[in-house]
Amino acid sequence: MNLSDSEILELEQLLDLRKIDIHKDGLTIFTEKTNPNYKYLYNEINEQGYNKSGELVSGSRGVVLEGSSRSGKTWSSVDMIINICTNIETNCTINIYRAWYTEFKETVYEDFKRRLSDFGLDNPFLRSKEIKSFKIGENKISFIGCDKVGRAHGAGCDYAFYNEMMHIPEPIFDQSEMRCRKFWWADYNPSFTDHYVFNSIIPRPDVGFLRTTFIDNYYVTHGEVNKILGYEPYEPDSYEVRDSGLFYKGQEVSEKNLPPPHPMNVNSGTANLFMWKVYGLGLRGAMKGVIFETVVWIDEFPSIDYTYANDFGFTADPNATVRYAEDEDNIWFELLCYSPVETPEELSRVFEANGVEKEKPIACDSSDKYTGENKGTVEMVSGLQDLGYEEAFKISKKKSIMYWILSMKKKRIHCVKNKLWKNVKKEKENYKFKEINGILINQPIDNYNHCWDAVRYGHMSHNSGLNIIKTEHSLSDMGISY
């Protein structure tokens, strides 16, 4: 039986409507194909219950979705936003947060572009290259980059989704969560070993947590699976995977306890332990692109001559003070202070408590980003000099940060494992090079670098003949105008 053109068109429209109905049914009717991330979000939102005082008595205030690449976290989040707008709310606001606004165009834009059409909804992503907000019915969805700090702090909403939470600063999350009226959730690949999400968000009794891998995603393609499996560095089934990491013969995998190598991935050059742990297994791991990959932990500072170095920190940022020494092949340092210090008098007391000798050189931060009455690099250095630390000086920054970082990386770096060593460990695992479109560039991110900046000042001082910049105060004392 031959169909006319109009009948063929009508049939195609009916089939399209049928596909739309299937997608809509999938928001509330679950099968073995339903992603566990979506099911978890759905249940936590629907189980929310509050008493008359507005206190949460059931369900979760928020949810954290941790997992490997292609586990369906973000895709499930887009579906949940569609479900909220079509089945739960009629006039709500949903804010989607990401560290940098421009990244939306490369990620979440594409997911909405595909998914809105699947559900037969109006699709502005087919018409425009940049969309700051759009509507599903009368519900408004807004994209907010955390590089727009003021806007993020002031934006109230009913629901909030934090996409790639690892890169969203803690103050932004705290401020925006306070302004979220009903429910929030976050997703990420766990590319850190230490993070505020792990320490202060997941342990909360009002926060739900789910970890998934690409194996949990029914719709992951063979190509995507093969790409991820190509990262595996060890022979399959030769080691054990636990939440805390990889184990071989009952002991944690280390340089001295390695499983047999993967028979194909190692030879083909695709094996990558970091990529396999984070994007294959969904385990927490040191970030890709960390600047100082190896630090030798030692029990005490060696018996050699040393100086000091200091990176100022006021109010929120820690002041980092280090004891420092160097030879042709090695760098040694010990972190003595890692907390905000507001005044020279307070820093002087910190120095005294840690035995910092007044006759020793102290290479200090020369950045003028901190300025103001009695609070700034000039005021701090001149104040230290007045208090007897006459060898405190502002370091000369005639060469780039990268020049000195690469100079440091040529040497073996040792750190004393004292009571503050975990702060060094946290910075070591999170201080990294910037990444643009997945490509690392030779420029460090200005974060997790307080102790490393202090160490760099010590290195600069050692290799620059103590290149001192006198402060305005000390120069005027010598009768020299500044």
> Would you say residue 362 lies in a domain?
yes
Residues 246 and 274 in one domain: yes
Please report, for residues 243, 254, 287, 314, 344, the alpha-carbon distance to residue 273 in angstroms, rounded to integers and kept in the order given. Answer: 16, 11, 11, 38, 45
Alpha-carbon gap, residue 200 to 306, rounded angstroms: 38
287 within domain boundaries: no
Q: Whole-angstrom Cα distance, residue 149 to residue 142?
A: 15
Give the C-alpha separation, 198 to 245, whole Å. 15
Q: How far apart are CA 325 and CA 304, in angstroms?
A: 7
**Domain match, 196 and 257 both:** no
Beta pairing partners, 241: 246
Do 125 and 246 lie in a common domain?
Answer: no
148: CATH: 3.40.50.300
Give yes or no: residues 207 and 81 share one domain: yes
The domain that holds 470 is classified in CATH as: 3.30.420.280
Length in residues, the chain: 482
**Domain final position from 185, 212, 239:** 212
Name every residue whose Cβ is closer than 8 Å to that of residue 409 and which is 6 or more positions away in sequence: 291, 292
Of 164, 189, 212, which marks where a domain is finished?
A: 212
Rounded to the nearest 5 percent, the helix, strand and coil shares of the chain are 35, 25, 40
Residues 259 and 133 in one domain: no
The answer to whether position 22 is within a domain reads no
Q: Which residue has the tokens 């008493």?
A: 51
* Assigned domain for 96 exists: yes
19, part of any domain: no
Write down the residue that tokens 């460990």 correspond to: 425
Do 249 and 276 belong together in one domain? yes
Copy the structure tokens of residue 8. Answer: 């063929």
| Domain co-membership, 82 together with 186 | yes
Domain-located, residue 252: yes
Partnered with residue 248 across adjacent β-strands are: 251
Q: Based on the fold, state whether residues 337 and 399 are members of the same structural domain.
A: yes
Q: Assess whether 252 and 312 both reside in one domain.
A: no
Do 308 and 276 share a structural domain? no
| pTM above threshold 0.85 | no
Task: Please tell me the total count of domains within the chain.
Answer: 3
Residue 263: give the domain boundaries: 222-280
Mark whether 89 and 191 lie in a shared domain. yes
Please report, to the nearest 10 degrees, the dihedral formed by the alpha carbons of residues 216, 203, 28, 54 taken in order.
-170
pLDDT tens across the length of the chain (482 residues): 677 777 667 666 777 778 888 899 999 999 999 999 999 999 999 999 888 877 888 889 999 999 998 999 999 999 999 999 999 999 999 999 998 888 898 889 999 999 999 999 999 999 998 999 999 999 999 999 987 655 445 578 999 999 999 889 888 999 999 999 999 999 998 877 778 899 899 999 999 999 999 999 999 999 999 999 999 999 999 999 998 789 999 999 987 899 999 999 999 999 988 889 888 999 887 666 788 888 999 999 999 999 999 999 988 789 999 999 999 999 999 999 999 999 999 999 999 999 999 999 999 988 755 444 455 778 899 999 999 999 999 998 888 898 999 899 989 999 999 999 999 998 998 888 876 655 567 788 888 899 999 999 999 999 986 544 444 433 333 232 22
Q: Flag whether 26 is in a domain.
A: no
CA dihedral 364, 350, 321, 198 (to 10 degrees): -130
Q: Are residues 354 and 411 in the same domain?
A: yes
- Of 193, 212, 231, the last residue of a domain is 212
Residue at 77 is within a domain: yes
